[in-house]
Structure 1
Amino acid sequence: MPFRRSGLIDRLHIHTRDVAAAKRFYRAVMGALGVPVVEGEDFFFADQLWIDAGERTGHVHLAFNAADPEMVDRFQQAGLAAGGRSNASPEDAGFHPGHYAVRLMDPDGNLIEAVWRGCLSPCA
């Protein structure tokens, strides 16, 4: 699987106490974003995101780029169906103009977001 290497981050490595639950969640949300997941017994990765079994050292806030608002919606639906919990929807106050995003809590309590940074009406 080729790596995108399109952004600032080379790799994000997080630990999970429940690999099966994390795989279920990330398979769903990565599928909604069109990113393949490569799985091993006690690890998996998707592009520059690496997750393996281990003790967590803290929570992270991770935002993925989405190609359009519909992809953000698919991300939300897939994540909720796979055990994620809603943290903020596109209708919630606090998002910047021109952003369309959802935030989910993954099975380990990490804040996982999908964001489209296009221009929605009205656009500033």
Structure 2
Amino acid sequence: METSQLHRGRLIDHIQLVVCDLKPSQDFYTAVLNVLDIPVIGTSDGYFWADELVVSTPDSPAALGAVTGRHHLAFQAKDRATVDAFYQAALAHGGRDNGAPGERPYHPGYYAAFVLDPDGNNIEAVYHGDARRSAPSVVIDF
């Protein structure tokens, strides 16, 4: 996966999570992103990053001294086995169960797992299955 290429036209340029304790978050995200074939590409005092995700401490200059609120991030997985491996890696590295791997009602073939990271963010890995390619667009009300 090319991680240093600029991708014009994406909805999200980058996301920053500001966490209470960087070490547990770095252990957690390194493990789950590794399963998803997304390498952590840089670390420094007070932050690390992988692709468009930056995780930092409150004293990082970009954090303005405050942790971020609770967020839901969903990472794409290449297949169901990767969702399962994401879930196991998350639980083994400080994550807490928030929905074991399984089919979800959002559309046919939606297979996902949900965990809470060390700061309580809801982190998901999802495989949309082959049904997504032929399914019409789905609107999900939150």
Q: TM-score, normalised by structure 1?
A: 0.87
**1:81 corresponds to:** 92
SS of equivalent to 2:17: strand
Matches within 5 A, 1:99-114: 99-114=110-125
Matches within 5 A, 1:56-67: 56-67=67-78
**C-alpha spacing 1:17/1:57, structure 2 compared with 1 (3 Å):** same
For this pair of structures, how many residues does the alignment match?
122
**2:11 corresponds to:** 8
Bigger-Rg structure (1/2):
2
Structure 1 gap segments, 5+ residues each: none
How far, CA to CA, are the matches of 2:101 and 2:107 in structure 1? 10
Alignment RMSD (CA, Å) = 2.1
**2:49 corresponds to:** 45
Question: Could you tell me the percent identity over the aligned residues?
Answer: 42
**C-alpha spacing 1:108/1:27, structure 2 compared with 1 (3 Å):** same
Deviates more, 1:11-20 or 1:37-46: 37-46
Q: TM-score, normalised by structure 2?
A: 0.77
How far, CA to CA, are the matches of 1:4 and 1:27 in structure 2? 22
How far, CA to CA, are the matches of 1:85 and 1:3 in structure 2? 33
Structure 2 gap segments, 5+ residues each: 59-65, 136-142
Counterpart code for 1:110: N
How far, CA to CA, are the matches of 2:116 and 2:57 in structure 1? 18
